[in-house]
Amino acid sequence: MSETVLQAGVDIAGLSFDPVTVSEPLMWLVLAAFLGSVAVAQYDERLARPVATVGWGLFAVYWLALAPHFILIQKSVVEGLGSVIAVPLSLYTGYLLWNGRESLLVLTRAIGIMGVIYVPFLTTGPLRQTIIEAVTDQVAFLMTLTGYEPTVVGGLSHNGIDITSKQYPYENTFWFGEHERPITYTIILACTGIGSISIFAGGILAVKAPWRRKLRVLLGAVGIIYVLNLLRNLGIALAFGLQKAQFFPETVMALFGLSDAQLVSYYIVDRMLAQFGSVIVLVGLTWVLMRELPELTVIIEDLLFLVTGTEYDLGTAFEKNQSESGPATPGDD
């Protein structure tokens, strides 16, 4: 993510607030409710349903609070639309759970596990620093393979706000000084791929399947996402930093409300190509993973029902793969 698109807050109808700050306590409440439902489900799934229902209600409020961040600050079509859609979907999920659709407890468990993986990176400075610096170093190495010698710096500021020293006090910014006004591309937590990794890990670990098979699929998914994310950062950094995607600048500036023409390459490569491309890649990866771990179909079937209102039987489509995997051996589960 470019450091140039980070802002301090947003003013909506005269009310000034920081959506991320407002959403943080909600995040902890959601995680507590989801994990609480997982614990209660070990004894009685009927009692777990109301706990999970509360969690989904809080999840809707969480996305409602965070939506302005993606829409007005990040100006991301994919993330903004996703956050808006997540509000009614979360409420609908809670409604279905309350009325007895117990299969949604698996999806609830998946999101709880996802939070256990992601939240430590979000809230723990040393852990966050480790992954951001690792991704920065690896992207820098990939740049050298393309023939470009990157300059990595730290301590940058934007609009008078020293965002690097306050939030990321380490070197994670690529400096492109070839232009009249230097361009910077800063690696932050959202650029590390840990969000996508935690989503897939939560789903894989939440389903009931032999542990050896789950771990094999998990390692494959993590490896694929991590490598593709490095390539994504490489493409965005070079296209933006070297201004290689200055296509239809006036149209793009009008579409995103930009005042700086240098940001056109960033918005084309990241906000348009990379984000929409990531959705397509992750959908394809999900299909591949279901072939290796058909138990994931219970989560995907519920997600499809939430979106379309139609029941699907994906388990039948992957029945052959499940039988070929063979019965679980003792100690696998």
Q: Based on the domain organization, do 139 and 198 belong to the same domain?
A: yes
Quick one: tokens of 32? 């507590």
Percent of the chain scoring above 90 in pLDDT: 54
Q: Based on the domain organization, do 149 and 283 belong to the same domain?
A: yes
Instruction: Assess whether pLDDT exceeds 70 at residue 260.
Output: yes
Confidence of residue 156 (pLDDT cuts 50, 70, 90): low
Tell me the C-alpha distance between 117 and 115, whole Å: 5
Cα-based angle 298, 93, 316 (whole degrees, multiple of 5)? 20
Grouping H, G, I as helix, E, B as strand and the rest as coil, residue 327 is: coil
* Residue ranges making up the domain that contains 48: 8-101
Residue 256 Cα distances to 39, 138, 166, 235, 266, angstroms: 45, 30, 27, 21, 11
Comparing 162 with 206, which gets the higher pLDDT? 206
Q: Which residue is associated with the tokens 């058909």?
A: 294
Confirm whether 216 is a catalytic residue.
no
pLDDT the model gives residue 258: 85
Confidence of residue 323 (pLDDT cuts 50, 70, 90): low
Please pick, among 49, 128, 213, 232, the residue that the annotation labels catalytic: 232
Give how many domains the chain has, as a whole number. 2
Mean pLDDT on 130-154:
93
pLDDT the model gives residue 8: 26
Q: Based on the domain organization, do 238 and 309 belong to the same domain?
A: yes
Please pick, among 49, 128, 191, 271, the residue that the annotation labels catalytic: 191
Residue 66 Cα distances to 10, 11, 81, angstroms: 11, 14, 12
pLDDT digits (tens, 9 = 90+) for 43-81: 887 888 999 999 999 999 999 988 888 888 777 777 888
pLDDT the model gives residue 218: 97
Q: Is 323 exposed, middle or buried (0-12, 13-18, 19+ CB in 10 A)?
A: exposed
Q: Based on the domain organization, do 89 and 148 belong to the same domain?
A: no
**286 within some domain:** yes
Comparing 321 with 264, which gets the higher pLDDT? 264
**91 within some domain:** yes
**243 within some domain:** yes
pLDDT the model gives residue 96: 95
Query: Model-level pTM?
Result: 0.82
pLDDT the model gives residue 197: 96
**332 within some domain:** no
Average pLDDT over the chain reads: 84
**47 within some domain:** yes
pLDDT the model gives residue 169: 58
Strands 15-17 and 173-176 come out as unpaired
pLDDT the model gives residue 318: 66
Q: Based on the domain organization, do 311 and 277 belong to the same domain?
A: yes
Instruction: Assess whether pLDDT exceeds 90 at residue 109.
Output: yes
Confirm whether 232 is a catalytic residue.
yes
Q: How far is CA 7 from the centre of its chain?
A: 20
Q: Based on the domain organization, do 113 and 52 belong to the same domain?
A: no
pLDDT the model gives residue 51: 93
Q: Which of 64, 86, 101 is the last residue of a domain?
A: 101
**330 within some domain:** no
Q: Based on the domain organization, do 96 and 109 belong to the same domain?
A: no
Instruction: Assess whether pLDDT exceeds 80 at residue 17.
Output: no
Judge whether 191 and 139 are in contact, CB under 8 Å: no
Grouping H, G, I as helix, E, B as strand and the rest as coil, residue 15 is: strand
Q: Based on the domain organization, do 48 and 83 belong to the same domain?
A: yes
Instruction: Assess whether pLDDT exceeds 80 at residue 325.
Output: no
Mean pLDDT on 236-259:
90
Grouping H, G, I as helix, E, B as strand and the rest as coil, residue 151 is: strand
Tell me the C-alpha distance between 42 and 210, whole Å: 18
Q: Which of 101, 131, 148 is the last residue of a domain?
A: 101
Q: Which of 40, 67, 101 is the last residue of a domain?
A: 101
pLDDT digits (tens, 9 = 90+) for 181-235: 889 899 988 899 999 999 999 999 999 999 999 999 999 999 999 999 999 999 9
pLDDT the model gives residue 2: 39
Q: Based on the domain organization, do 46 and 181 belong to the same domain?
A: no
Instruction: Assess whether pLDDT exceeds 90 at residue 316.
Output: no
**219 within some domain:** yes
**204 within some domain:** yes
pLDDT the model gives residue 7: 28
Q: Based on the domain organization, do 142 and 268 belong to the same domain?
A: yes
Q: Based on the domain organization, do 70 and 130 belong to the same domain?
A: no
pLDDT digits (tens, 9 = 90+) for 268-301: 999 889 989 998 999 999 999 999 999 999 999 9
Q: Based on the domain organization, do 262 and 227 belong to the same domain?
A: yes
Q: Which residues contact 211 (CB under 8 A, 6 or more apart)?
A: 332, 333
